Structures are given as C-alpha cells and as structure tokens.
Amino acid sequence: MTENTAHRFREFKMPDVGEGLTEAEILKWYVQVGDTVTDGQVVCEVETAKAAVELPIPYDGTVHELRFPEGTTVDVGQVIISVDVVPGGAASGEAPAATPAAAPRTEAPAAPEPEEEAAPKGRQPVLVGYGVAETSTRRRPRKAPAAGGTAPASAPPVAQVPEQAAAAAVQGELNGHGTPPPGEFPAAPVARPLAKPPVRKLAKDLGVDLTEVTPTGPDGIITRDDIRAAVAPAEAPAPAAAAAEPGPEPVSAGGPAVAAAGARETRIPVKGVRKATAAAMVGSAFTAPHVTEFITFDITRTMKLVDELKADPELAGVRVNPLLMIARAVLVAVKRNPGINASWDEAAQEIVQKHYVNLGIAAATPRGLIVPNIKDAQAKTLPELAAALGELVSVARDGKTTPAAMQGGTLTITNVGVFGVDTGTPILNPGESAILAVGAIKLRPWVHKGKVRPRQVTTLGLSFDHRLVDGELGSRFLADVAAVLERPKRLITWV
C-alpha cells in the first residue's frame, strides 16, 4: 500500500470521557458503514461509570468500519471506528489487481492471495508500524464463499456490501487482524431507520428494534409515540416464547427487566452507572461512620409561600416548588453551621472545611442513581437557584449529565418523598459530609396554636460522617433546616 493509501484511513479511539475512567459501553451508533461524517459530528453514545456521553468524530470522510457492536464495553484507548478521509481518492498510486494465470479457480475459493489483492508497483515509506503495501484501484466483487471457504478479514459488527468487505480486509491487515475465520460473510446492508437521538435512546431502553417500527412522523421519521405503540403489541407474545424455555432471563442494564411468563429468575447485568453507584455506596458505607437523625415538623407556611411565589408576576417563568425552598433552607443552615460542609482527607488525616457549597441533587434515571450538583449554590439568588435546579433535573432525566457535573459535590439532597416515602436513612455520596433525605409532605393532624388541626407535615432524615460532624453539629444543622421551613421568614432574618 502506498503512503497515500496508508493515510487514507483515520482511526478514532475511545477517549477518557471522565476523570481517570478506564472503560465505556457503546450504547448506540448514530452512523453506519458508508455514511458520510463531518468534523464534530456525533457518531455514537457511550456510557461510562458516571454518565452517558455523546462522542463527536474529529475527521471528515466516510465511515469505513465500526469495530464494536452496540452493548460492548470497550477499554479507553481502543479503536472504535475508522474513517476513510479520502473516499474514492486513494487509488491514485495503485495498480490494477492481477491474478496469476497458473492459479485458475476450479473449486471453492480459498483465502485471497496477495497477488489477487494488489500488484505492488513502487513502494513509499508510510506511518511507523503499518508497513508498506499497495492496494488495487479496482477490485472484483467477492463471491460468497462455499463450504470451507474464507471471508474477508476482520468482518465488522455491522453489515457491509462485498466492496466494503474487501476494503475492510485491507484495513484488517493494517491493524494486524490476520486471517479471518472461515465460513463467514457479511450480509447486505439494511436501511437505517430515521429517528432522533432521544427517540433512539427510548427505543433502546424499551428494547424496541427500530427496523420493525412503522414511522408516522414527517419524512418517515420515527417518533416517541411510534416506539410506545410498538411496545404494546410486543408484550403479548412473551408468554409463548417463555413456555419453550423457562428459567433465568438476562436483560441489559438500563432497560426494563421484563420477566417471561414462567421464569423464576431474571438476571440483570450490573454495569455502567449502576455498577459505579454500587461500588461507591459500599465504599461509603464501610468507610465513613454514618449517623442518621430525623425531625418531623409543620411545613404548611412554606407550602403557602410556594403558592404565593408561583402567582407572583415578577417570578413568571421561574420554576418554584418545595424542593427549591428546601434547597434554600439547606444553604441558610450551612451558613449558620459551616462545619457541616467539609470533607475528610485520609492521607493527611485532616478535615477540609469548604467555603463554597456544591449542592448535590440525587436523581433517579433509567441508568441508575446519579448525583449532579449545583456549583457555588450559596452565591445564587432564588431565581438563579431555581433555574439551575430545573436544568439539572431535566438534563439528568434525559441521560445527558456530564461527568464534570457530578464532580466536587459537598453535600446532597435526596427527595424520597416523590415516591410517597416518609423518610429514610440515606448513604453518603463518597467524599461528602452529609446527605438530607426529604420525606413526603402530607396532610396530618397537628397541634397548631393549642388545637389539633390538619397541617402539611413532613420528616427530614440527615445522615452525616461522624469523623467530620459530631452529634451536636449534626443536630443543630438539621434543626435549623426544619426551623427555616417551618417559618420561612427566617430565609430573610437569618441570612
């Protein structure tokens, strides 16, 4: 292959999309072999131990090979896609292929001979480690091998036509793939369904094959409603399939675990965000000595304030809810009890007190629990805090939270009340000093001004690291949060 041809294919490796992460799972390919790509175009979505991230390609050209199928976990630094950066223009220094006259084909074709691949016609230096070779300007379409025949080298995990398979064989030789296994040949390409990335993600989460969905959107685009419509009829045949082979059914992490009828077990692979969360929670539970305290109080005045703020014309467009007021109360309590906002330095055996608050908000997503945080929350006004909180939640639900958004948290709020739970004993986010669980706000009988009346009541649960926070400090902090929410005018008087 000439130097011109050697420079034709550019390889894109799995980057370190987090901080020191060593692997990522390929969730979805947005391109297929033969597609044209441009610099900066998103070609795939991967999931690390912290978040789902879309990867842009840094080249212009045509997709030559996808090295791994969807669902594969790939180490950082491995090549995941190669791009032909000079599509149709790398043959300038190549000669036509030649087949030796003394080797007529009288039986099933064997492995391609070097003479059949290319007839060298002059050599030039190429990139170190790739050797020197020359490809043909014209290749005959490979026929499907008979029994005992061989297939093109390094058959990619996606469909290729014969011409693309021949090019893949050359690229496989460049990458040291060697001789391919016998009896394999790629199928004809299938038209790629049209759907936007969020719709493709929904289809993956629900286990829907886009090629089997009937599109109803403009220009044949598949919509969310099309995906949901495809799920309903797909649930009916499940019992029939299960009857043939009852037993454990593996499902992919992040997707719904739908057990077949008659199955006694369902196995869910733990990987990505869920795997990282499990490891972090085990490490936190057995490293930081947890203490949990609870307080139940009347939050009626804060709920009335929320309604008043929603009706205020000056706050039009601002998302006001109880979680916003609780976050503000936490920030006021941190200001009154700064020792609660700290971390433990194991190497130096020191307590590191933080003079900023990166307020984490635990969010349940289809891929597991994540805790993005609002940077420098203590410096934000109420509208700014509301905007940051709304963006954080919406991005997390869409699965687009970046690893940077989850780094550097100082303390966390987890709202278990949205599930109707009264309270809980939350486990600390690793590296943080405290986590506050917010229970459901319910109408309950409560003694108010000497009489039993129906009032809005809730329970808060605070877990803290006893190496950093002693019982007195933890109790004062929790009591201050409840006091602000019980009488929200303290949002002004205590600042």
Closest C-alpha among 195, 175, 164, 4 to residue 89:
4
**Cα gap 14→18, rounded to integer Å:** 11
Catalytic residue among 7, 64, 290, 466: 466
**Cα gap 456→441, rounded to integer Å:** 6
Q: Quick one: angle between helices 322-336 and 382-397, nearest 10?
A: 120
What is the four-CA torsion angle of 277, 415, 293, 473, rounded to 10 degrees?
90
Region at 276 (left for phi over 0; alpha for psi -120 to 50; beta for the rest)? alpha
Residue 33 belongs to what H/E stretch?
none
**Cα gap 383→387, rounded to integer Å:** 6
Q: Which SS3 state, helix, strand or coil, does residue 127 take?
A: coil
**Cα gap 30→67, rounded to integer Å:** 14
Q: Is 466 a catalytic residue?
A: yes
**Cα gap 261→408, rounded to integer Å:** 45
Q: For tokens 């099309």, what's the residue?
A: 226
What is the four-CA torsion angle of 248, 249, 251, 256, rounded to 10 degrees?
-100
Residues marked as catalytic:
466
